[in-house]
Amino acid sequence: MIAVFAGTIAECVLLYLVWVALRTRHALNLGSSIISTFTWLARSALLIPVGIPVFLASSVWLPFPMPTALGLACFVPSMLLASRLNKYLQRQGTDRVRPAQAFADRIFVLSLASALFLGALSAFAFGLSVMHFGV
């Protein structure tokens, strides 16, 4: 019963992550010329919804820390790129970079929230396996 509930929550969060990633990609297409120069950040943001399915699929075959590391590998590039871009844009200090700062902030928060959710899901899965198998 608990595993079914956790699976449903994971599916809902996954759908939300896909929606936010597509919305961010759409904002990039409609954004200003400053945002369109940072397409590498938008491409790395498309990896964010992939992290949780990678974790769920690889947890069947791989031992415990590996699925978590593979899932986090999908979130870390966009988190680092968004952080660097935000620092760079803050040094510019003009109003022209505000849409790009909002874009970088959105991607950073999305990847951080996804990584935290993956950590919670990983701890929950590990707890269930310890309870079930007594490992």
Span 59-101, pLDDT tens digits: 888 887 888 899 899 999 989 988 988 888 888 777 777 777 8
What residues make up the domain containing 116? Answer: 2-133
Q: Which tens digit of pLDDT belongs to each residue from 110-124?
A: 889 889 988 888 888
- Residues whose CB falls within 8 Å of the CB of residue 16, separated by 6 or more in sequence, listed in order: none
Q: Domains in the chain: how many in total?
A: 1
Instruction: Please give the pLDDT value at position 23.
Output: 72
At 46 the pLDDT is 78
Tokens representing 108 are 């950073």
pLDDT for 1 beyond 50: no
Q: Compute the half-sphere exposure of residue 8: CA atoms within 13 Å on the CB side of its CA.
A: 5
**Of residues 107, 92, 99, 97, the one with CA closest to residue 23:** 107
Q: pTM of the prediction? A: 0.76
Structure tokens at 66: 């590996």
Structure confidence at residue 18 (pLDDT): 73
- Between CA 112 and CA 95 the distance in angstroms is 26
